[in-house]
Structures are given as structure tokens and as C-alpha cells.
């Protein structure tokens, strides 16, 4: 992979730079304590988080396909998690959990290993941008609280673009906004389905950040296990 022609580097946010797993767990633990869920569900915060994560991933996949809307996603993931534990769900609890989680989550600021070091290196050589499927207010708060905002010239969310990865239109929107072209741009993201398939759909060079080494159905141009590897590639 030649770095000579690149002028713009586009990043995904969640699971690529921002440590979604650690931050989501911290938010769930705070939520669990605030609403005294231990007595209701009969498990600890770790057990609750495990089931929530599984269910949340499923409903996010439906959201990406356009099969549910944002409000449904935010509510149903908690409803289905509570139903998994077969507890009596009092009126208003799922709405309260959905609201409080969105308030707590973006205040967390854990980043993935070598994120800052890699951004420091790349920002001296390239113009950096973000393309994220998250909601505008939540994503901007995450970026601000974690100190990432200073690195990126443009931040594109699916909410302001009107399209979501893997749709090529969100990449087209980002290119137009930034003044970049396919010939001088590269994208880095973790999700085979959203990020890598999206870059393929758009015809953009890309790198798959895959720290777990999990096999996937989408073949990327380049795969890395550590963000620091970008300092050699680019």
C-alpha cells in the first residue's frame, strides 16, 4: 500500500479510536447502580452488561439496515435485556434506562491503545476526518470529552449526512465536505459490515482495524491489529 498519494485520512470513531466496550461498560455499571438493578435482575453489573451488549449489537444491526429507528433502538435494547432476565418491568423503567445511558455514555473517555500517538503522527502528515454512524449530539460529546476534536478537520455523522455506513453516499458526502477525492483518501475502521464494506462500496482505499483477529466475510485491502501499525503504513 503506497502512502504517497494520500492527503486525507478518514477514521471511524467507535471501536476504532474511542473504546466503546470500556466506555459502554462504565456507563452500564453507573446505570446499574443508579437504578438498583441488582435486586431486579438477579445478577451483577458484569452479567447485565454481557447480555446488554449482545442484544445491543443485534438491534444496531437492524438500525444499520434501516429496519428500526433511533428511538426504537434506544428503548428496545433495554427492554429486551430486562426481558432476558425474566423480571417484572415497572412502568417507565426502560425509558429511564434509555435516557440515562445516553447521558452517561458520552461522558466516558477511554480510547483504544495507541490512538493518541497514532493521531499525533498522522495529523502532522495528513488532513484527518471522521465518519461515524453515531448520533450527532452523542458523538460530538464523545469526541470532545476524550480530547479527539483537535485532530479532525471534518466530523461526519450519519445523522447530519442523512446516510449510514455501509452506504456509499455517506462517503461521498464526506469527500465533498472535505474537498478530498477517492484518489487521495484512505479510510480506517473496525466493522467489516459497516466500515470495510462501506469503503468498498465507495471505492475508497481502506484499512481494517481488527485487534481481535476475528475472521470476516469481507476482504480488506490491509488489516492491522494495532493502531500503531498505521505509523508504518502511512
State pTM to two decimals. 0.89
Which residue, chain included where needed, has cell 423503567?
93
pLDDT in tens, 80-137: 999 999 988 889 999 999 999 999 999 999 999 999 999 999 999 999 999 999 889 9
Percent of the chain with pLDDT over 70: 98
Do you find a cis peptide bond into 166, omega within 30 degrees of 0? yes
Which residue, chain included where needed, has cell 502532522?
124
> DSSP per residue over 18-37, as a string?
B-HHHHHHHHHHHHHHHTTH
> DSSP per residue over 92-115, as a string?
THHHHHHHHHHHHGGG---B-TTH
Distance of CA 233 to the CA centre of its chain: 23
**In the CATH scheme, what architecture does the domain 8-19+111-233 have?**
3-Layer(aba) Sandwich (3.40)
- Sequence-separated (6 or more) residues with CB below 8 Å from residue 218: 192, 193, 196, 197, 200, 208
User: Is 21-107 in the same CATH topology as 8-19+111-233?
Assistant: no
Task: Break the chain into its structural domains and give their ranges.
Answer: 8-19+111-233, 21-107
- Which pLDDT band, with edges at 50, 70 and 90, does 64 fall under? confident
Q: Is 12 in contact with 188 (CB distance < 8 Å)?
A: yes
Summarize the confidence of residues 15-21 as an average pLDDT: 96
CA atoms within 13 A on the CB side of 81: 32
Q: In what order do the strands lie in the sheet with 185-189?
A: 152-157, 127-132, 8-11, 185-189, 205-209, 223-224
| Grid cell for residue 32 | 446499574
Q: Please give the CATH superfamily to which domain 21-107 belongs.
A: Putative phosphatase; domain 2 (1.10.150.240)
Q: Is 151 in contact with 17 (CB distance < 8 Å)?
A: no
Q: Is 26 in contact with 103 (CB distance < 8 Å)?
A: no
pLDDT in tens, 20-63: 999 999 999 999 999 999 989 999 999 999 999 999 999 988 88
Amino acid at each position: 500500500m503506497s502512502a504517497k498519494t494520500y492527503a486525507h485520512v478518514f477514521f471511524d470513531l467507535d471501536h476504532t479510536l474511542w473504546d466503546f466496550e470500556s466506555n459502554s461498560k462504565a456507563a452500564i455499571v453507573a446505570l446499574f447502580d443508579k437504578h438498583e438493578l441488582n435486586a431486579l435482575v438477579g445478577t451483577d453489573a458484569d452479567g447485565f452488561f454481557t447480555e446488554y451488549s449482545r442484544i445491543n449489537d443485534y438491534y444496531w444491526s437492524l438500525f444499520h439496515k434501516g429496519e428500526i429507528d433511533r428511538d426504537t433502538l434506544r428503548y428496545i435494547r433495554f427492554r429486551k435485556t430486562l426481558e432476558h432476565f425474566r423480571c417484572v418491568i415497572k412502568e417507565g423503567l426502560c425509558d429511564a434506562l434509555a435516557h440515562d445511558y445516553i447521558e452517561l455514555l458520552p461522558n466516558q473517555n477511554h480510547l483504544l491503545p495507541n490512538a493518541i500517538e497514532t493521531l499525533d503522527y498522522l495529523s502532522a502528515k495528513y488532513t484527518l476526518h471522521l465518519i461515524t454512524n453515531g448520533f450527532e449530539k452523542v458523538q460530538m460529546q464523545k469526541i470532545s470529552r476524550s480530547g479527539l476534536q483537535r485532530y479532525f478537520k471534518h466530523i461526519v455523522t450519519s445523522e447530519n449526512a442523512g446516510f449510514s455506513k455501509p452506504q456509499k453516499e455517506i462517503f461521498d458526502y464526506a469527500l465533498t465536505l472535505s474537498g478530498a477525492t477517492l484518489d487521495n483518501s484512505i479510510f480506517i475502521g473496525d466493522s467489516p459490515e459497516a466500515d470495510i464494506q462501506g469503503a468498498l462500496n465507495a471505492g475508497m482505499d481502506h484499512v481494517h482495524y481488527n485487534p481481535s483477529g476475528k475472521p470476516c466475510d469481507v476482504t480488506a485491502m490491509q488489516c492491522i491489529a494495532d493502531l500503531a501499525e498505521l505509523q508504518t503504513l502511512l
